[in-house]
Structure 1
């Protein structure tokens, strides 16, 4: 065996070992160098420094270490922003772009200076220097004013300092080396834990080959194939062979994170040793009733960084399945923030189970894994991938409301003339943009959004405002409605961050929103296609697997989810017996908005009744909206005939804002032997990730095609994609709607033993453009009318 090696970047090393003190978010949402437009500022300063200035100098050093019975080597690597090497002296330059007013900066930040010192040590050792100058160059991102700090240091001092720094990290590196050896050895002996279902072996092989070839894979696999195990198992095997260093299991819903945890546990039961951590949103795991991340309000925030490394080390050396409960337990013991500690644990976990946001959203991304351009040995497993399109469009868009600028100005009045002045400037920009909107709206017929070609002047004024707002928050830690101003500061930051991403895949527009009877004017940076943004994140890993039961049409999802022509797509056949399910399409009913009347409602109720009366049991009925659901429910409740017809069936309604407890109670009511009808909304909490197996659910009625309501934003998408590819209706409405239909229908047949009916109520399902989106397992299906549906249902249930 060769010499064991652990690699770490200069930045990660100093930020990990040298952090100390409190958590304190009162000064704004940015840390000292957050939102740095690093590359632009760096390049400009570097160009100004003359011919003797060498920019972006790659440096690395190998440090032999003995720790915990192991001899190994730690390689510390990175790129120095600049080195000036003259006959007189050598200067190591570290550049940071910040929003802080430089007059308030009396000394460099410790972690910044430590980075420069690391580069100084590595360069000094390489060139056998005795002395050198460590230089910190700070640049204000608004004014581009520069302030420098210099300190001459000896190599002997840097040598001792750097050795102590590396030795502090050595116990972590030694643990990691030992753990990886244990983990990989255990994985080699793990076989697939169950007999392969139909198509499952091909799926497992496809995922493994995709990882080997460092490509992306798009999997459309119906319920029952075992998608989670079929993607996790080959990824774990690749990790055991040294192909991958970390797995990110990304999903949109809590229920699917639970499924992932259970899947890893199944492999542990087969002998696998693997450390998984599940991340929970801060508002759900914070022990306080109201989140206040500062030492005055939270005892755990005080000195958090002095204690957290000890807490993390104890956890990773003792636990393998690190759940929300485990994190809360250790956080309480060590008096640290559970959310921040969980993020730290991700550095040492083999698999991170979390929401999409942690990998993709600009504001909550796990920056410790994605902050540099280097490709890493990461595998991304993206569950329920159909959800990522809309989620990504949302996370890469930003909005600002004019009213908020005036509200903040009122709150801070008399506290800062400078901030008031900059708020006034931005508000004036918005007044001009609103006048433009009103004029152009009249030209367009009095309604709708107005597309903006250029908002550069407004953005410049925003940049001036955001620095002043940040400084104000740092200097004013306690005033009425401070939280509103803090949130406003974040919105400014986010808007400017997103503006940096704007390309031809964006539309900038203005419009008004109706709220509390008032019109609120806003500017929006709307992401129309998130592919480029997602691609930048996914390129930090070696392979990505997208999987879902509903990923049709596959080309649409490949286009929106950063697919390349050479990437793969797999359609896995359903393992279920088509004779155990009945799919019926009603051709004599419509849910079109123009057809919604008493006669159509009566017809829909009649279909629901026919569907549920032939076989006693539990059924779901999915509606396109709460309003539609309520109309049908009221008809049944208010009409004596329908009351009598449904007398022995318990109709329960999905609430509009259900807690986890209410959701569980709703589902617990659907047991074998009960007769319940659940009235739910397509695209809601009960249309995905719900497993009511066997007799707990024996049928579903889908009312309508699931198309989103016509609104300005949807029409914006329609117009954009009509121009791009002539498929505006499909991109804005059809694909989104049919996905909801397919997910809702997928609640019925969950296992090979399940039996059930799926009734589609809308004549539009007969159209070619809808039928082209039917999955293979929907064939064959039957066309029915209200007069014939009873016969088809009777025939099916008699056969069963």
Structure 2
């Protein structure tokens, strides 16, 4: 926003923010209540007649105490009660007089006995419905209106309605009393907007000059945000993608083209890069509030992340203290990092995760994982309840969103979990055991469909499991709410949310899905699998105004544009490498096959190619493989043939500390050669920034094809039907993406020089070369380890001269 005194907030956020108090309670009961609350709304609404209008959006813009407020919300129901008038008058007059009364209805679910609920039960509930009623009265020129709270008892499904008639004058007084309490926050917002926007106007690009392509990228990002569009950008490693997207976004922010930025990533390292970019801009005078959201399990102060007042002192009385903490941190901090949030959370004795979510409302930029915007089960509904938000989504390393979104939009059940738990509950909780057995029986029925095969695939949705899962969840609720800590509780809780996830994803099921059953060792897997996430992603980005998808490896870009939900009107941009091509020696060893059937015969020659690549310059090198098994076999052969080299190898169960220790071995000015063996697509092939002489080269074994499996073949068959590119979409493009990411570790700055050796005959095929980025066109074919040694000798000699 520009320097206007504009405040946009939802009715619910307004009243809950001002009136909240007491404990934070996200126990099972409160979580299941949220789920059941949605069902309760739907049951009540469906039971009404034609006079009941459900989910009515109400908006009100007005000026008050120097601010322009834009307040909106969605009433659960508006009841238009009609009477028959026996007096004979014309039709227009009948229509006008036949509506005798208007009532605004707010539905709330409860487990509390209805006889214990009276009109003083919950003032926040009344506040919400009164605000809706006030807006409706204003817009429809009513002097009086009825307000009603409908309490739906979750166990008995009986409702209790508490109704009042209120005047416009009473509602107006109440409404402005709430606003008066909010003015301190409105003033903060206004003052902060001036400070922030003034700093942005004076902000200059935080580096001495733009690299090749950076200015062009920055201009395109700015225009995309200004015009509310989508763009897909392939920007090579080292161009400075993060600052080139954030800097123009910050500029667009101060000019009113967006009101909040979500910087979305798949990995922690990318979030750290975004934080560093903001630090650079702050050094140039920027004032901008940035929040990094950390997963609940990581930021929780307790051993178990259970938000219940009887267990956690930070949850006990959380809402009595959190607004004071908000005002304190917002007045004193711009960088709302995990460390800063933890300091203030301990100072005020509040939950750090819930505190983070509140801070997201006040932050200018939220740096977070993909799932906070895209995952239908956990996205931040507090921001996305209404369409038309002018948010900007900056989607970093967007190539990772393909597989991540498939998993976000899919759901899985395993038979063994239900059978094992049935045995636990057989005697002590027979109703739960019976419900578990029904799921187990259903899974057995699905197993029979496999016949002699290990799998069965169907396009139709498995409707018949919905009632079975709902029954299990219903039978489980009381036990989960009251018997925490008893045998089977933790396992049943996990199954409850797996069942809930399954039923929610079923609501998205269409012709882009399949259902498959697979025999998995001694278990049975049932999965509703999203083959094509493009539609759901395109719907998700409508939660904002503009989206920038960017990565060093969106190649081929038309594939990523298609699979990530782009359309023909969306822009694409492919930027050249900013670095001198002479800095990279790119070699292809095309006399080796790394196909699965040929791997055993390749160990010796690959070991020799590795030695030839590293022998001419003391340095650090990474060797990337398509699998752990292949990597281990070559590692053993290499260390046997060339024992003089210092080697390290990635394992598939590395802790954070072990990963850090692994990377710390890549030292500047190495005194001896280090050869790292790692896996393509793994933790060391993306987001690792080893600048200068910390990495001298990368050797990439194979074209990175994902392992042949049922899911990949289902994807292949689906896209063969759709566009005849099944193998490309399922195997080739994802594989080459891993190759490009791995190779991207080598050249990070304009001063870097290094070697990339690609080992596989397929790299010389035209249909692979077409995917190569432009900066790879100067590749050289080598025909033996000896030839490789000659080429590396020449490269390093010319580098030193």
The question of a shared fold, defined as TM-score above 0.5 by the shorter chain, is answered with yes
**Distance in 2 of aligned mates of 1:769 and 1:530:** 25
CA-to-aligned-CA distance 1:217-251 (integer Å, 9 cap, x gap): 10101012111111111110000101110110001
Which residue matches 1:795? 794
CA RMSD of aligned residues (A): 2.5
**Distance in 2 of aligned mates of 1:591 and 1:234:** 44
Would you say how many aligned residue pairs link Structure 1 and Structure 2? 773
Which residue matches 1:238? 252
SS at match of 1:365: coil
Which residue matches 1:21? 22
Does residue 159 of structure 2 align to residue 147 of structure 1?
A: yes
Q: CA deviation at 1:34?
A: 3.1
Which residue matches 2:420? 407
Seen in structure 2, the aligned counterparts of structure 1 residues 577 and 264 have a Cα distance that, compared at 3 Å, is same
Which residue matches 1:697? 695
Which residue matches 1:750? 748
**Distance in 2 of aligned mates of 1:741 and 1:29:** 46
**Distance in 2 of aligned mates of 1:586 and 1:613:** 17
Which residue matches 1:687? 685
Seen in structure 2, the aligned counterparts of structure 1 residues 423 and 500 have a Cα distance that, compared at 3 Å, is same
1:393 corresponds to which of 406, 412, 437: 406
Which residue matches 1:668? 664
Does residue 536 of structure 2 align to residue 504 of structure 1?
A: no
Paired residues of 1:275 and 1:349 also in contact (CA < 8 A)? yes
Seen in structure 2, the aligned counterparts of structure 1 residues 454 and 604 have a Cα distance that, compared at 3 Å, is same
SS at match of 1:565: coil
SS at match of 2:33: coil
2:722 corresponds to which of 718, 721, 724: 724
**1:33-72 equivalent positions in 2, closer than 5 A:** 33-34=34-35, 42=42, 49-61=48-60, 65-66=64-65, 71-72=66-67
Q: CA deviation at 1:256?
A: 1.0
Q: CA deviation at 1:761?
A: 0.8
**Distance in 1 of aligned mates of 2:136 and 2:767:** 64
Q: CA deviation at 1:509?
A: 1.1
**1:179-258 equivalent positions in 2, closer than 5 A:** 179-194=192-207, 195-258=209-272
2:103 corresponds to which of 91, 96, 105: 91
Q: CA deviation at 1:656?
A: 2.0
Does residue 77 of structure 2 align to residue 82 of structure 1?
A: yes
Does residue 536 of structure 2 align to residue 533 of structure 1?
A: yes
CA-to-aligned-CA distance 1:75-121 (integer Å, 9 cap, x gap): 3222323323456543211246x697997995776644432222123
Paired residues of 1:99 and 1:467 also in contact (CA < 8 A)? no
CA-to-aligned-CA distance 1:714-767 (integer Å, 9 cap, x gap): 122122222222222111111111111100001111111111110001111112
Seen in structure 2, the aligned counterparts of structure 1 residues 387 and 302 have a Cα distance that, compared at 3 Å, is same
**1:305-704 equivalent positions in 2, closer than 5 A:** 305-372=319-386, 374-437=387-450, 439=451, 442=452, 446-451=453-458, 453-514=460-521, 519-597=522-600, 599-637=601-639, 639=640, 641-643=641-643, 647=644, 649-674=645-670, 675-704=673-702
Moved more, 428-437 or 761-770: 428-437
**Distance in 1 of aligned mates of 2:35 and 2:679:** 41
Seen in structure 2, the aligned counterparts of structure 1 residues 29 and 3 have a Cα distance that, compared at 3 Å, is closer
Runs of 5+ unmatched residues, structure 2: 82-98
**1:257-336 equivalent positions in 2, closer than 5 A:** 257-336=271-350
Which residue matches 1:776? 774
Paired residues of 1:59 and 1:77 also in contact (CA < 8 A)? yes
SS at match of 1:75: strand
**Distance in 1 of aligned mates of 2:723 and 2:769:** 21
Q: TM-score, normalised by structure 1?
A: 0.92
Q: CA deviation at 1:561?
A: 0.9
**1:134-173 equivalent positions in 2, closer than 5 A:** 134-136=148-150, 138=152, 145=157, 147-155=159-167, 158-173=171-186
**Distance in 1 of aligned mates of 2:539 and 2:739:** 31
Moved more, 208-217 or 104-113: 104-113
Seen in structure 2, the aligned counterparts of structure 1 residues 72 and 429 have a Cα distance that, compared at 3 Å, is same
Paired residues of 1:117 and 1:134 also in contact (CA < 8 A)? no
**Distance in 1 of aligned mates of 2:158 and 2:9:** 30
CA-to-aligned-CA distance 1:111-144 (integer Å, 9 cap, x gap): 444322221233345544346242326486x99x
Which residue matches 2:738? 740
CA-to-aligned-CA distance 1:388-423 (integer Å, 9 cap, x gap): 110111111101112222333333445544433333
Paired residues of 1:300 and 1:336 also in contact (CA < 8 A)? yes
**Distance in 2 of aligned mates of 1:725 and 1:471:** 50
SS at match of 1:362: coil
Q: CA deviation at 1:57?
A: 4.1
**Distance in 2 of aligned mates of 1:677 and 1:35:** 56
Q: CA deviation at 1:448?
A: 3.2
CA-to-aligned-CA distance 1:286-320 (integer Å, 9 cap, x gap): 12233222222211111112221221221111100
Paired residues of 1:116 and 1:136 also in contact (CA < 8 A)? no
Q: TM-score, normalised by structure 2?
A: 0.91
Runs of 5+ unmatched residues, structure 1: none
Paired residues of 1:121 and 1:158 also in contact (CA < 8 A)? yes
